[in-house]
Amino acid sequence: MNEWRPMFSRFHLIIVKDPDLKEELKIPEGFNLDVYEKPDIDRVVGSSTSVLFSGYACRYFGYLVSRKKYIISVDDDCLPAQDPKGFLVDAVAQHITNLTTPATPFFFNTLYDPFTEGADFVRGYPFSLRSGVKCVFSCGLWLNLADHDAPTQALKARQRNSRYVDAVITVPAGSLVPVSGINIAFDREVVGPALVPALKLAGEGKFRWETMVDIWSGLCVKVACDHLGLGVKTGLPYSVRLSREATTVEDCIVEVANAAKERLGSTDPVFTRAAKAMLDWVYLWKSVGSISSSSPAV
């Protein structure tokens, strides 16, 4: 955490201890933070819910209890990166910039994000679409250890990512995206309910390549954003139709949960469990996570 001090010390931090972790947390002083452990989780959500806050999913409890407009989440093995000139990259500031400038999901701009410094809309980009839409989700990048699936990780265990890419892209509407929870930011007030820890694999371990929680919740986020006309920055074609009655993110998640149960439940019970967890999560969000607050944005 000391490496992040220049960026994190300005904001309120929530640290959620994995209920399965036996060791004591070692947290340096000088931060404005709240720490939540298993007794806190049990007190807030109880033991009757199917939503499990263990392993990488423990961070979702932080999403639930936070009262900030913007949430930034990074894995505990991430450190601030340097750009090719050796300057420290302020990942927090970049996430906030992404979330507070419009996204352009309905027409691709070949100069990428036209709202970043030094970029603009290219010739031929429709003027009627240049105002963009509200951006509610920002998926950051990272260097060194890539986020592979299990087979790729086994084959390329020593592969490292050393390419620094100075670009921000809006994910086009109608494209799914495999969101990794390693480095993300989002507008909690708008899309928070879609960050749902639902799809837990049987025998899920403690390595990134052994979990699908963040991938599933990322799909939920993108489907909800496409349906509601919102933007995601940082993609394979697909088509998902939600009813016109789905006017909030919560409505979208309920419909996705029901569809997962009806269409996928017979293929694998993991989808039935995921659907139940999604419905329980919406209930938790309405009863615990939607309490109003006048807290600062981050």
- Evaluate whether residue 156 is within a structural domain: yes
The C-alpha atoms of residue 233 and residue 172 are separated, in whole angstroms, by: 9
For 81-111, the pLDDT digits (tens) are 888 888 888 889 999 999 999 999 999 999 8
Say if strands 135-139 and 183-187 run parallel, antiparallel, or are unpaired.
Answer: antiparallel
The C-alpha atoms of residue 160 and residue 31 are separated, in whole angstroms, by: 32
Average pLDDT for 7-22: 92
- Evaluate whether residue 173 is within a structural domain: yes
Report the amino acid identity of residue 246: A
For 204-214, the pLDDT digits (tens) are 766 776 788 99
For 219-262, the pLDDT digits (tens) are 999 999 999 999 999 832 222 334 567 788 999 999 999 999 99
For 169-182, the pLDDT digits (tens) are 999 999 999 998 88
Residue 297 confidence (pLDDT) above 80: no
Encoding tokens for residue 221? 């986020």
Beta-carbon count within 10 A of 133 CB = 18
- Evaluate whether residue 17 is within a structural domain: yes
pLDDT at 187: 98
Count up the domains in the chain and report the number. 1
- Average per-residue pLDDT for the chain: 87
CA atoms within 13 A on the CB side of 271: 13
Contact 38, 151 (CB under 8 A): no
Cα-based torsion angle of the residue sequence 110, 111, 112, 117 in order, rounded to the nearest 10 degrees:
-170
Q: Which residue has the tokens 């105002």?
A: 131
pTM, to two decimals: 0.87
Encoding tokens for residue 290? 């939607």
The C-alpha atoms of residue 99 and residue 272 are separated, in whole angstroms, by: 33
pLDDT at 235: 31
Q: Is the dihedral of CA 116, 12, 142, 180 positive or negative?
A: negative
- Evaluate whether residue 262 is within a structural domain: yes
Encoding tokens for residue 144? 């060194």
Q: Which residue has the tokens 């972790």?
A: 21
Residue 275 confidence (pLDDT) above 80: yes
Q: Which domain, by its residues, includes 116?
A: 2-289
- Evaluate whether residue 219 is within a structural domain: yes
- Evaluate whether residue 295 is within a structural domain: no
pLDDT at 147: 82
For 33-70, the pLDDT digits (tens) are 999 999 999 999 887 676 788 888 999 999 999 999 99
- Evaluate whether residue 294 is within a structural domain: no
pLDDT at 16: 95
